[in-house]
Amino acid sequence: MRPALQASLFDGFDDVGLNDLGESVRRVTLTRGAWIDLRPGWMRGADELFERLREVVPWYAEKREMYERVVDVPRLLCFYDENAALPDPVLGQAKAALDAHYGEELGEAFRTAGLCLYRDGRDSVAWHGDRIGRSRTEDTMVAIISLGEPRSLMLRQRGGGGETIRQTLGHGDLIVMGGSCQRTWEHCVPKTARPVGPRISVQFRPFGVR
Ligand SMILES: O=C(O)CCC(=O)C(=O)O
Ligand SMILES: [Fe+2]
């Protein structure tokens, strides 16, 4: 049992921790050798973890040239290289659990963590594959934990033709994009006019995949 003071501090929050992976992961096979794995509610206490990360992560806005003007990319970012200390111990536990579950199939460990903060419905990421580096030519995996308010992650076959998949992800959900997904499919988080609260996405990738 927790001491009373601590219990009152944590009122309304679950303890932050991981649920199991194993049998609870559902695989959806896409076309052309791509797949996604879904594990809703993987992270317990996801709303508390959201608050912790929003506080401690040194978020920055990336600039991009667009129509000959330099504009802010519409979301805040922070990238943790493989040697960087992660901003919360539970993210180290998540990486270890992903390595235990996917290590054999992936043939290597997850190394880097990219964090994105979508402040509201105006923040977004356009259609893309994570194709910088080895993922341009090789199968790989990108594992994403979603914290805070749910947003839609859309997936479609690269080059069009075929179905568009919408996954609503937030409050501790896990999605893993695997196989050829970064080369043969694209994903995005569209803007929404609905009033939505902030969401944080934590992406684990192997070395040399961006
Ligand atoms: O917000 C997400 O979960 C997706 C982020 C993403 O696709 C990326 O940063 O490459
Ligand atoms: Fe991506």
Q: CATH number for the domain including 120?
A: 2.60.120.590
Domain assignment of residue 37, yes or no: yes
Cα–Cα distance, 23 to 121 (Å, whole number): 34
201 C-alpha to center of ligand 1: Å? 7
Given this model, what pLDDT does residue 71 score?
86
Given this model, what pLDDT does residue 97 score?
98
Facing residues of 64 across strands? 71
Across 78-96, average pLDDT: 97
202 C-alpha to center of ligand 2: Å? 11
Which percentage of the chain shows pLDDT scores above 90?
87
Q: Dihedral of the CA atoms 122, 128, 42, 141 (nearest 10)?
A: -160
Domain assignment of residue 93, yes or no: yes
Task: Label residue 36 by pLDDT band (50, 70, 90).
Answer: very high
Which residues constitute the domain of residue 57?
Answer: 25-205
Domain assignment of residue 11, yes or no: no
Domain assignment of residue 126, yes or no: yes
Ligand 1 atom closest to residue 77's alpha carbon, by position in its atom list: 9
Given this model, what pLDDT does residue 189 score?
98
Which percentage of the chain shows pLDDT scores above 70?
93
Domain assignment of residue 6, yes or no: no
Cα–Cα distance, 128 to 24 (Å, whole number): 28
Domain assignment of residue 3, yes or no: no
Structurally, how many domains does the chain consist of? 1
Given this model, what pLDDT does residue 35 score?
98
Across 59-76, average pLDDT: 90
Is 186 close to ligand 1, i.e. is its CB under 6 Å away? Answer: no
Given this model, what pLDDT does residue 3 score?
52
Facing residues of 109 across strands? none
**Nearest protein Cα to ligand 1, atom 2:** 201
Across 135-164, average pLDDT: 95
CA 65 to chain centre: 25
CA 207 to chain centre: 16
177 C-alpha to center of ligand 2: Å? 9
Domain assignment of residue 175, yes or no: yes
Is 203 close to ligand 1, i.e. is its CB under 6 Å away? Answer: yes
CA 191 to chain centre: 17
Domain assignment of residue 40, yes or no: yes
Is 153 close to ligand 1, i.e. is its CB under 6 Å away? Answer: yes
Given this model, what pLDDT does residue 90 score?
98
Given this model, what pLDDT does residue 72 score?
87
Across 177-185, average pLDDT: 98
Mean pLDDT of the residues in the chain: 93
- Residues whose Cβ atom is located within 5 A of ion ligand 2: 130
Ligand 1 atom closest to residue 118's alpha carbon, by position in its atom list: 1
Task: Label residue 47 by pLDDT band (50, 70, 90).
Answer: very high
Is 206 close to ligand 1, i.e. is its CB under 6 Å away? Answer: no
On the question of pLDDT at 119 being above 90, the answer is yes
Given this model, what pLDDT does residue 12 score?
52
